[in-house]
């Protein structure tokens, strides 16, 4: 048996990966709404059949929302080394 954590699923829409509140793995064809408001229809395809063969970028809006909810500083607010 394989267990998949719905909190760790990052849907990819048009080459951008998002965060979504999922209770489980969506069924193929089920509409999924991301934290940022973008919606998409769930599809599960092998890598060889996906349209985008580049590394997905992160949705900045989803990232900001999830960081705020978890009390994590936004990237631009973190103190870094120069």
pLDDT digits (tens, 9 = 90+) for 22-68: 988 999 999 999 999 999 999 988 877 776 667 889 999 999 999 99
Record the tokens describing residue 17, joined without a space: 């990966």
Yes or no: say if 30 and 42 are a contact pair by the CB < 8 Å rule: yes
CA atoms of 42 and 6, how far apart (whole Å): 14
pLDDT of 74 above 60: yes
For 40, the enclosing helix (H) or strand (E) is strand 39-41
Length of the chain in terms of residues written:
82
When pLDDT is cut at 50, 70 and 90, the band that residue 75 belongs to is: confident
For 67, the enclosing helix (H) or strand (E) is helix 60-70
pTM attached to this predicted model: 0.77
CA atoms of 72 and 19, how far apart (whole Å): 15
């Amino acid at each position: 048996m394989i267990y998949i954590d719905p909190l760790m699923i990052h849907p990819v829409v048009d080459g951008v990966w998002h965060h979504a509140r999922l209770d489980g793995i969506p069924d193929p064809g089920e509409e999924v709404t991301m934290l940022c408001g973008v919606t998409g229809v769930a599809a599960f395809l092998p890598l060889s059949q996906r349209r985008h063969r580049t590394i997905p970028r992160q949705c900045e809006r989803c990232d900001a929302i999830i960081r705020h909810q978890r009390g994590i500083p936004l990237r631009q607010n973190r103190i870094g080394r120069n």
